[in-house]
Amino acid sequence: MGSDISMVNIYIMGKKYLVPDSLTIMHAMEYAGYQLVRGCGCRAGFCGACATVFRIRGDYDLKIGLACQTKVEPEMYLTQIPFFPAQKSEYDLQELKPTAEQIALFYPEIYRCIGCNACTKICPQDLKVMQYIAYAQRGEIERCADESFDCVMCGLCASRCPAQIVHFNVGILARRLYARHLLPPARHLQNRVAEVESGKFAAEMAELVKVSKETLRNLYAKRVIED
């Protein structure tokens, strides 16, 4: 190993490992010999599957981050939370109404919020989580949907909530309600769906299923992207 590589001690599930300080937590775990078959997801900071809690020796504060984005630090004690067992209600979106009462029917705990803001402080996306819960309480569906739009469903907000609120599920319900019942339908999308249903692209699709994967990759890479 070259002398220009700086190494640091980290602890995975209590066991000590020496890893390069340039690695992310995810890469450090793999460097240490762990084979990640879950809790790794997209590896690009979008899916929220690699939520990680850690503490630095000598610091009482628990810290959080996505393992694919957070770099290791000396004396880092860490563990991943690839899935948070939170309540998830089932519903038929077509039958719902975009109201506070509708959200409260499935997630009544939103009214137990004590305003501690722990959910916002732990969010790795820096979302104003407590704020979008307040919007949900007031039935401001569009504002709740907008404020929670970048949520990656990692579950860390719910893990710290003393009121047992499942913030990320509340947020996705608000976004679904907004998209289904409040957002004006996109005319160009409606036109394209009508074209597909009319069989306009049937011959082209029939040809595509016959080509090789390499041809498909090239076609995808050269596709025209709308502004």
DSSP code, position 109: G
Domain boundaries, the chain: 7-80, 93-182, 189-221
Enter the tokens of residue 138.
């007031």
184, 189, 194, 196 alpha-carbon torsion, rounded to 10°: -150
- How far are the Cα atoms of 60, 68, 136, 176, 181 from residue 172, in angstroms, in the given order? 33, 23, 11, 6, 14
pLDDT for the residue numbered 80: 80
pLDDT at 32 over 60: yes
Quick: pLDDT tens for 71-123: 999 999 998 887 778 889 999 999 999 999 999 999 999 999 999 999 999 99
pLDDT at 34 over 70: yes
What's the CATH number of domain 7-80, 3.10.20.30, 3.90.79.10, 3.30.1360.30, 3.40.1000.10? 3.10.20.30
pLDDT for the residue numbered 81: 81
Quick: pLDDT tens for 171-220: 999 999 999 999 998 899 899 999 999 999 999 999 999 999 999 999 99
pLDDT at 68 over 70: yes
Quick: pLDDT tens for 151-163: 999 899 998 899 9
pLDDT for the residue numbered 120: 96
Which range among 15-19, 37-41, 177-181 shows the weakest confidence by mean pLDDT? 37-41
Enter the tokens of residue 3.
């002398």
Quick: pLDDT tens for 126-136: 999 999 999 99
